[in-house]
């Protein structure tokens, strides 16, 4: 679930919507929370109860009350049970698991657990991180000199021994003494740029009531890449190329730092020149291009590439906001910048999350392999969300 800053939270208080039996199961059942189905002990929860939900892709600390997950390396993931007939996503834990008190109102309805109410985020409180350390670094709110250093030497910092050293404070300091330089300073995130992280359909099942037409595009499994340019006066401008959180400015790139997939894609597709042309043509204060860089070494799914490639998914103009995906794709085509595959221009949402997740599973337009899922954007570009294929998660993220 995304917080108000657009950052993903991995643990939060939820209300149980429904309890659903599992055919042939005597000791377990499914708890339904929004669009999530989570297998729990039979009788552990009732509809209306509050609980702490841990999203898939997360990792809990190796301490109480999570020691029962030791054999799973403390990882929360998508899993299949009962010969593949039941899919469970995430983890639910009750107030009792933490030794918390329950607060009830006069009608006997649970209103709080441990002093926390429905919707309260507990990611930091419970020390929850992404299971993949790279996801933690990529989606962390902080930007520091160590990440900039690592970004300049991507292959070296993928070495298992170096990754272990990098996890420790002393290790970071030692590595920085060897590989750091003055360009590894903190560069402030461009204030006009909104970071990318789409909400999952399971956290907003209510959107299915909207039967207006959406644009469905393929979701690509890579790393978020942002290029943005802001005009300063008549003849000057600032240009930044960014990962999800780390910013590389023009000076750093000229000095040879920031040699990673983000700057590689920027140079391959001439992002700076393209954005300057758009800013001048449309008289924009700023313009932002966001997309996905993917290929060899970025995720488990490499799309048959030996190198890297890029697909845009957002084109944002100052004073207007995100453009319609079809219009944006047309503008980028003029400059030779590829866009995410548009699967359907007039997509009407089905009635259930389950139906949409089934539709998310399919073949990638890029290489014919399994696609990660679908991203849905409103016709005016202002709203969006994603549906990630469960089959994809089981194959590439389990």
Which of 69, 103, 130 is where one domain is finished?
Answer: 130
Residue identified by tokens 């599973």 is 361
- Please report whether residue 185 resides in a domain: no
Cα–Cα distances in Å, from 258 out to 141, 167, 182, 264? Answer: 19, 21, 12, 9
Residue appearing with tokens 């292959």: 155
Whether residues 163 and 96 fall in one domain:
no
Does residue 196 belong to any structural domain of this protein?
no
Lowest mean per-residue pLDDT among 71-85, 102-116, 261-275: 71-85
Same domain as 90, residue 20: yes
Does residue 165 share a domain with residue 49? Answer: no
pLDDT higher than threshold 70 for residue 227:
yes
Nearest-10 crossing angle of helices 169-179, 145-152: 60
Task: Clarify whether residues 37 and 119 are in a common domain.
Answer: yes
Q: Is 6 part of any domain?
A: no
DSSP 33-78: ETTEEEEEETTS--TT-EEEEE-TTEE--SSTT-GGGGGGTTB--E
Residue 305 sits in the same domain as residue 331 = yes
Q: Write out the DSSP string of 2-35.
A: B-TTSPBPSEEEEE--EEEE-TT-SSEEEEEETT
* Residue 115 and residue 150 share a domain: no
* Residue 258 or residue 314, greater confidence: 314
In which domain, by residue range, is 161 found?
144-179
CATH value at residue 261: 3.30.470.30
Number of domains in the chain: 3
Residue 360 lies in a domain: yes
The model's confidence at residue 249, banded by pLDDT at 50, 70 and 90, is low
Stretch 20-28: mean pLDDT, rounded?
92
Instruction: With respect to residue 187, please indicate whether it lies within any of the assigned structural domains.
Output: no
Tell whether 119 and 218 lie within a shared domain.
Answer: no
Give the pLDDT confidence score for residue 179 in this predicted structure: 85
pLDDT level of residue 256 (50, 70, 90 thresholds): very low
Q: How confident is the model at residue 19 (pLDDT cuts 50, 70, 90)?
A: very high
- Assign residue 83 the CATH number of its domain: 2.40.50
Does the residue 370 lie in any domain? Answer: yes
Q: How confident is the model at residue 352 (pLDDT cuts 50, 70, 90)?
A: very high
Angle between helices 271-281 and 261-269 in degrees, nearest 10: 60
For residues 156 and 235, membership in a common domain is answered with no
Q: Residue 355: pLDDT above 90?
A: yes
Q: What is the pLDDT of residue 257?
A: 38
Task: Read off the pLDDT of residues 29-45 as tens digits, 9 standing for 90 and up.
Answer: 999 999 999 999 999 99
Going by C-alpha positions, the residue among 57, 59, 15, 7 that lies closest to residue 33 is 15
Residues 85 and 221 in one domain: no
In a domain, 138, yes or no: no
pLDDT beyond 80 at 282? yes
Please tell me whether residues 66 and 94 are part of one structural domain: yes
User: pLDDT tens for residues 89-144?
Assistant: 999 999 999 999 999 999 999 999 999 999 999 999 999 998 875 555 555 544 46
Question: Would you say residue 190 lies in a domain?
Answer: no
The mean pLDDT of the chain is 89
State whether 112 and 256 are in the same domain.
no
Token representation of residue 94: 């009750």
Does residue 252 surpass a pLDDT of 50?
A: no
If asked whether residues 389 and 260 sit together in one domain, one would say: yes
């Amino acid at each position: 679930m995304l917080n108000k800053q657009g950052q993903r939270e991995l643990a939060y208080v939820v209300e149980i919507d429904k309890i659903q039996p599992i055919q042939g199961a005597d000791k377990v059942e499914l708890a339904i929370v929004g669009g999530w189905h989570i297998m729990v002990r039979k009788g552990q929860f009732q509809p209306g109860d509050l609980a702490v939900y841990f999203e898939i892709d997360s990792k809990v600390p190796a301490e109480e009350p999570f020691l029962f997950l030791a054999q799973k390396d403390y990882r929360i993931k998508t899993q299949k049970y009962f010969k593949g007939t039941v899919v469970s996503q995430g983890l639910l834990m009750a107030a009792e698991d933490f030794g918390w008190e329950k607060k009830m109102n006069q009608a006997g309805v649970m209103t709080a657990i441990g002093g926390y109410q429905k919707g309260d985020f507990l990611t930091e409180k419970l020390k929850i991180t992404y299971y993949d350390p790279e996801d933690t670094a990529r989606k962390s709110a902080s930007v520091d000199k160590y990440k900039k250093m690592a970004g300049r030497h991507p292959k070296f910092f993928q070495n298992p021994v170096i990754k272990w050293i990098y996890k420790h404070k002393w290790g970071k300091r030692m590595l920085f003494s060897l590989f750091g330089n003055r360009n590894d300073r903190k560069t402030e995130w461009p204030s006009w740029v909104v970071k990318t992280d789409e909400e999952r359909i399971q956290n907003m099942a209510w959107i299915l009531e909207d039967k207006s037409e959406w644009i469905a595009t393929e979701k690509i499994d890579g790393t978020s890449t942002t290029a943005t340019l802001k005009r300063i006066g008549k003849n000057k401008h600032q240009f930044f190329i960014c990962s999800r959180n780390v910013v590389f400015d023009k000076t750093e790139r000229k000095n040879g730092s920031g040699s990673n997939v983000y700057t590689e894609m920027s140079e391959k597709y001439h992002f700076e020149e393209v954005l300057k042309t758009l800013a001048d043509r449309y008289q924009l204060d700023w313009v932002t291009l966001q997309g996905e860089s993917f290929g060899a070494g970025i995720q488990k799914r490499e799309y048959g590439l030996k190198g890297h490639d890029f697909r845009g998914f957002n084109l944002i103009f100052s004073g207007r906001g995100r453009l319609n995906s079809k219009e944006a794709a047309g503008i980028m085509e003029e400059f030779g910048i590829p866009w995410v595959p548009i699967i359907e221009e007039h997509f009407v949402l089905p009635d259930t999350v389950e139906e949409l997740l089934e539709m998310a599973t399919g073949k990638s337009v890029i290489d014919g392999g399994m696609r990660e899922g679908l991203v849905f954007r409103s016709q005016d570009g202002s709203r969006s969300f994603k549906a990630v294929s469960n089959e994809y998660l089981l194959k590439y993220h389990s």
